[in-house]
Amino acid sequence: MVKERKGRRPAAATAAPATPPARHFEPMRAGHLTPAFAHLLGTIPQAANGVPSMMSGVEKRILFNLARKHYSGEGIIVDAGIFLGASTVCFGEGIRRNAQADQIRARWARPIVSFERGIINTGMPAFFERHKVADMGAVGESFAATVEANIAPVADLVDLRVGDILETALDVTSPVEILFLDVLKLPEISRLAVRQFFPRLIPGVSIVVQQDYFIDLLPYIRTDQEFFGSYFTYIGEAGSSALFLCTRAIDQAAIDRLDEGVSPAEQERLATIALQRSGDPARRFLMALSKTRLIHQLHGEDAAYDYLHFIKREYPEQAASTLPRLRQALVAVERLCAGGQ
């Protein structure tokens, strides 16, 4: 039930229409990069595009072309959160076609370090059914064998680490040239990524791909990334991913400041910066919903309700959209502001 508030009408959660209009164009799936990095939107061969994934096609193309056209071997590729292995295959097939492949292999026996917990969670069976991925087992069981089979064509390039990244990443000491983050499902993992990988980024070279940046959940991903805004240049977006070029070395003192804590006002400021990164109204709307979640966490239901009311006025087209991704996100935040989970 929606919580009544004195002097105003509650924002009711609105279900998606039973039959949405056909042939939606969903801008969230598009990619836009700055001119210097537009070449990363190039094509991808079928060999790099065959593993089922929650990534969009344009995200896969960028990962492949990062490894093919940008990667020099000055550092390793950290591929954190590979699910069934699609990102690893994209990176591996990209390295195979890299003009400097021999030099890269001479420096790094296995230039890709891939991390995956490898345990089926409650959200995965629906994905397996939708993509006709058979024989995956039950919730709580391991799917590591499937990951190993999927990445077999590039396994000679990969140091695969299955298990809790809070334990399996602690011995990474190499420079990091490409950092793909699709593993930040808990705040402590986000902080681990900052502590373990950010100091190893190479100024002017390293690219961070935050795969869960443009979603309505996990607001700490954006506040943690934007806390280091002066160390990065934003270079674009693809699907739910945001890409950042590291422009100066990240020192331990900056990381310590993050660990000491960020004030609520500063967290809101950082969330606003993140919201403004994209020119796509759909992405900005999702980021505003994420900021609503942050405000709920920091200040409670009433403050979050007020901000939600504001963003509905700011984004009327997106708030009324029939796109499932936008509708589901809005309904979830409406329920949160009404006292739900």
DSSP string, 273-321: HHHTS-S-HHHHHHHHHHHHHHHHHHH-HHHHHHHHHHHHHH-HHHHT-
Q: What is the distance between the alpha carbons of residues 226 and 256, in angstroms, rounded to a whole number?
A: 15
- Alpha carbon distance 307, 55 (integer Å): 30
In this structure, which amino acid lies at residue 258?
L
Q: Which of 224, 288, 299 is nearest to 265 (CA)?
A: 299
For the chain, domain boundaries = 30-265, 281-337
Question: Can you give the pLDDT at residue 135?
Answer: 84
Using an 8 Å Cβ cutoff, are 198 and 239 in contact? no
Question: Which two tokens mark 265?
Answer: 């006002």
CA distance 176 to 78: 7
Question: What is residue 134's predicted lDDT score, i.e. its pLDDT?
Answer: 86
**Predicted pLDDT at 29:** 76
Q: Look at residue 22 in the predicted model and tell me its pLDDT.
A: 40
pLDDT of residue 27: 62
CA gap 154, 135 in Å, rounded: 23
Residue 129's Cβ-side half-sphere holds a number of Cα atoms within 13 Å equal to: 6
Q: How far apart are CA 66 and CA 33, in angstroms?
A: 12
Question: Is 2:8 a contact under the CB 8 Å cutoff?
Answer: no
Token duo for residue 309: 């009311």
Q: CATH number of the domain at 30-265, out of 3.40.50.1950, 3.40.710.10, 3.40.50.150, 3.30.420.40?
A: 3.40.50.150
Using DSSP's 3-state secondary structure scheme, residue 109 falls into coil
Q: What span, in angstroms and rounded, lies between the C-alpha atoms of 167 and 165?
A: 5
Distance CA 289, CA 285 (A): 6
Side chain identity, residue 270:
L
Please name the amino acid found at residue 312.
K
pTM of the model: 0.91
pLDDT of the chain along its 341 residues, tens only?
334 444 443 444 444 444 344 444 466 778 999 999 999 999 999 999 999 999 999 999 999 999 999 999 999 999 999 999 999 999 999 999 999 999 999 999 999 999 999 999 999 999 998 888 888 989 999 999 999 999 999 999 999 999 999 999 999 999 999 999 999 999 999 999 999 999 999 999 999 999 999 999 999 999 999 999 999 999 999 999 999 999 999 999 999 999 999 999 999 999 999 999 999 999 999 999 999 999 999 999 999 999 999 999 999 999 999 999 999 999 999 999 998 66
Going by C-beta distance under 8 Å and a sequence separation of 6 or more, which residues neighbour residue 88?
A: 79, 82, 112, 114, 151, 154, 158, 160
Sign of CA dihedral 237, 240, 245, 248: positive
CA dihedral 75, 240, 50, 122 (to 10 degrees): 110
